[in-house]
Structure 1
Amino acid sequence: MSQFEVLMKRYQGMVFSQARKAFLTEEEAEDFTQEVFIQTYESLSKFRGESQFSTWLFQIARFRLTKVFKKKKLPIADWQEDISFVADKSGPSVAEILDKEETSHTLRSLISKLPKSYQMPILLHYFENKPLKEIALDLNIKLNTIKSHISRGKDLLRKWWSHEIES
């Protein structure tokens, strides 16, 4: 198995789970996920390693999703948040959208500051909806250690979040 296939296997669920929130059918989400990985493979030489691969992949997916929605002339919410589009005109106000984007940005920023050992289990569990046992297998870490990392990571996030709110 090539290194890219390993990466694809590791991150395919993350991209697909987010695409599933954005598209009406599972087939569209699967097609989108495949397109993202094709573009990622074609752009692999541009990856400089200044960020995690998952962050870079997410950016590719986000730009691709924006392009798809602009082409279809559909409004788009923040990809890394709960992706959805408004079917009618009674959507959230501009202030609500900006507040949600600011909250999402703050949360992503705080997660990126977590130690790597806490970051990946939290992302896999809460953003990809992977079961703890599967995360333990994927990361080759004992289940109780995964539980501990998630708990400690959440504690840090709560602490940091409260400081962000107070600021």
Structure 2
Amino acid sequence: MKRYQGMVFSQAKKAFLTDEEAEDFTQEVFIQTYESLSKFRGESQFSTWLFQIARFRLTKVFKKKKLPIVDWQEDISFVADKTGSTVVEILDKEETSHNLRSLISKLPKSYQMPILLHYFENKPLKEIALDLNIKLNTIKSHISRGKDLLRKWWSHEIEG
């Protein structure tokens, strides 16, 4: 829970008006995740599976309240131009989300992990460097190179 709490909470803060609502939502996600652990097949990374649980739970909450769905993919703003809005139609973004996850999974692991930790788990660069036992400047370089590759691949996705 400690490892992924920041990722879920930071996304929940974008979706809910108050920190209390975001905290409650985060707690509910982890309860549901715990109750569903027997269903985790290991076909994806645990963080991906947890992220999907959170996203589906958020969609359910917003549909029940008849609110517009929040786009959890705002963290991809470094790849594509964004309007700055965090509220979007889920169907319009589903393909974009899938394509980006696919592209990130194709990155070399040395680029992939720092990008995931920094942009999706909101870890500071210094902490990532310590966690991965890599120099800070190397982490910065890996993130920069990874983002460059994603931009390049993304432009081919859009053009192609």
**TM-score (normalised: structure 2):** 0.80
- Deviation larger for 12-21 or 100-109: 100-109
Using the TM superposition, name which of 100-109 and 26-35 deviates more: 100-109
Q: Over residues 68-109 of structure 1, what are the superposed CA-to-partner deviations in whole Å (9 max), with x where a residue is unaligned?
A: 112212121333336999999999999997665544432222
With 86-95 and 44-53 compared, the bigger mean Cα shift is at 86-95
| Residue range with higher mean Cα deviation, 60-69 or 96-105 | 96-105
Q: Contact 1:77–1:85 (CA<8 Å) still a contact in 2? A: no
CA contact under 8 A between 1:76 and 1:84: conserved in structure 2? no
Q: Which runs of 5+ in 1 are unaligned?
A: 1-7
Return the index of the structure with the highest Cα Rg.
Answer: 1
CA-CA distance at 1:149 after TM superposition? 1.9
CA-CA distance at 1:146 after TM superposition: 1.7
Deviations 1:21-44 (A, max 9, x none): 000000110111111111111111
Q: 1:133, 1:143 within 8 Å by CA — same for their partners in 2?
A: yes
Classify 1:126/1:162 alpha carbon distance in 2 versus 1 (closer, same or farther; 3 Å): same
Q: By how many angstroms is 1:142 displaced?
A: 2.9
Q: Could you tell me whether the CA contact under 8 Å between 1:135 and 1:146 is conserved in 2?
A: yes
> CA 1:94/1:43 → structure 2, altered by over 3 Å: closer, same or farther?
closer
Contact 2:8 2:26 (8 Å CA) reproduced: yes
- State the TM-score, normalizing by the size of structure 1: 0.77
Q: Deviations over 1:121-149 (max 9, x none)?
A: 11222234332012223334332332232
The answer as to whether partners of 2:104 and 2:150 remain within 8 angstroms in 1 is: yes
For structure 1, which segment, 85-94 or 154-163, has the greater mean C-alpha deviation from structure 2 after superposition? 85-94
Q: How many residue pairs were aligned?
A: 160
Distance 1:88 1:22, change over 3 A: farther
Matches of 1:57 and 1:75, distance apart in 2:
22
| Mapped pair 1:16 → 2:9 | yes
Q: Distance in 2 between matches of 1:84 and 1:71?
A: 28
The farther-off stretch of 13-22 and 91-100 is: 91-100
Contact map agreement 2:33 2:50 (CA 8 A) in 1: yes
Larger displacement relative to structure 2 (127-136 or 21-30):
127-136
Aligned-residue CA RMSD (Å): 5.2
Identical positions, percent: 94
| Distance 1:113-1:24 versus aligned 2 partners, 3 A rule | same
Structure 2 equivalent of residue 47 of structure 1: 40
Matched, 1:103 2:96: yes
Distance 1:90 1:12, change over 3 A: closer
Distance 1:157 1:84 in 2: 11
